[in-house]
Copies of this chain bind each other. A is one copy, B any other.
Amino acid sequence: MDLLVEKAIKGDRLSLSRLLSSIENNSAGSQQALDALFPLAGNAHIIGVTGSPGTGKSSLVNRIALEYRKRRQTVAIIAVDPSSPFSGGAILGDRIRMKELSGDTGVFIRSVASRGSLGGLSISTAQISSVFDAAGYDKILIETVGAGQSEVEIAGLAHTTLVVEAPGMGDDIQAIKAGILEIADILVINKADREGADQTELALRTMLELDHPKPKIFHHALLMDVVPLPDQQPDESLWIPPIVKTIATNGTNVEELTNRIEIHRQYLLNTGFWARRDSERILHELETSIKQQLFQGFISGIEPSDLLDVVQKIQQRTLSPHNATQILINRP
Binding site for B on A (CB under 8 A): 31, 34-35, 38-42, 52-54, 82, 84-87, 116-119, 145, 147-149, 151-152, 168-170, 172-175, 177-179, 182-183, 207, 210-211, 222-223, 226-228, 278-279, 282-283, 285-287, 289-291, 293-295, 297-299, 304, 307-308, 311, 314-315, 317-326, 328-329
Neighbouring B residues of A291 by C-beta, 8 Å: 291, 294-295
Sampled A-B contacts (16; CB under 8 Å):
A31-B322, A38-B321, A53-B174, A53-B178, A117-B179, A118-B152, A147-B179, A223-B307, A227-B311, A279-B315, A286-B314, A286-B321, A289-B322, A290-B329, A291-B295, A294-B298
Q: Which residues of chain B are near A278, meaning CB under 8 Å? A: 315
In the complex, residue of chain B having the shortest beta-carbon distance to the beta carbon of A173: B86
Residues of B within 8 A of A211 (CB): 84-85
A307: chain B residues within 8 A (beta carbon): 223, 226-227
Closest chain B residue, CB of each to CB of A171: B170
> With the chains together, A12 CA to B82 CA distance in Å?
48
Majority SS at the chain A contact face:
helix
B173 touches A170 (CB 8 A): no
Q: Which residues from B are CB-within-8-Å of A179?
A: 82, 84, 116-118, 147-148
Kindly state the separation between the CA atoms of A318 and B38 in the bound complex, as whole angstroms.
8
Output the nearest chain B residue to A177 by Cβ-Cβ distance: B147
Pairs of residues from A and B, 5 with the lowest C-beta to C-beta distance, nearest first: A54-B174, A169-B170, A117-B179, A38-B320, A170-B170
Query: A178 to B289, Cβ gap below 8 A?
Result: no
In the assembled complex, the Cα of A34 lies from the Cα of B299 at a distance in Å of 26
Cβ contact within 8 Å between B315 and A282: yes
Report if A52-B222 is in contact (Cβ < 8 Å); known contacts: A291-B291, A294-B291, A329-B293: no
Query: Quick one: which of B116, B169, B287, B321 contacts A285, CB cutoff 8 A?
Result: B321
Please state if B226 and A299 are interface contacts (CB–CB under 8 Å).
yes
Q: How far is the CA of A39 from the CA of B293 in the complex (A)?
A: 32
Minimum CB–CB distance for A81 against chain B, Å: 11
Q: How far is the CA of A181 from the CA of B197 in the complex (A)?
A: 29
**Interchain CB contact (< 8 A) of A39 among B85, B222, B317, B321:** B317
Q: How far is the CA of A285 from the CA of B178 in the complex (A)?
A: 28
CA distance A84 to B181 in the complex (A): 10
Contacts A38-B321, A39-B317 supplied; 12 other A-B pairs, CB < 8 Å:
A53-B174, A54-B175, A86-B174, A145-B178, A147-B178, A148-B179, A226-B307, A282-B321, A286-B314, A286-B324, A290-B298, A294-B295
The interface residues of chain B lying within 8 Å CB-to-CB of A86 are: 173-174, 178, 207, 210
B325 and A41 form a contact (CB under 8 A) = no
| Least CB distance, A164 to chain B, in whole angstroms | 13
Contact of A308 among B34, B227, B289 (CB under 8 A): B227
A147: chain B residues within 8 A (beta carbon):
177-179
A82 to B168: give the CA distance in the assembly, Å: 26
Contact between B175 and A52, CB atoms less than 8 A apart: yes
- Closest chain B residue to A287 by CB distance? B295
Specify which of B117, B287, B314 is in contact with A282 (CB 8 Å cutoff).
B314
User: Residue among A42, A283, A320, A322 with the most chain B CB within 10 A?
Assistant: A320
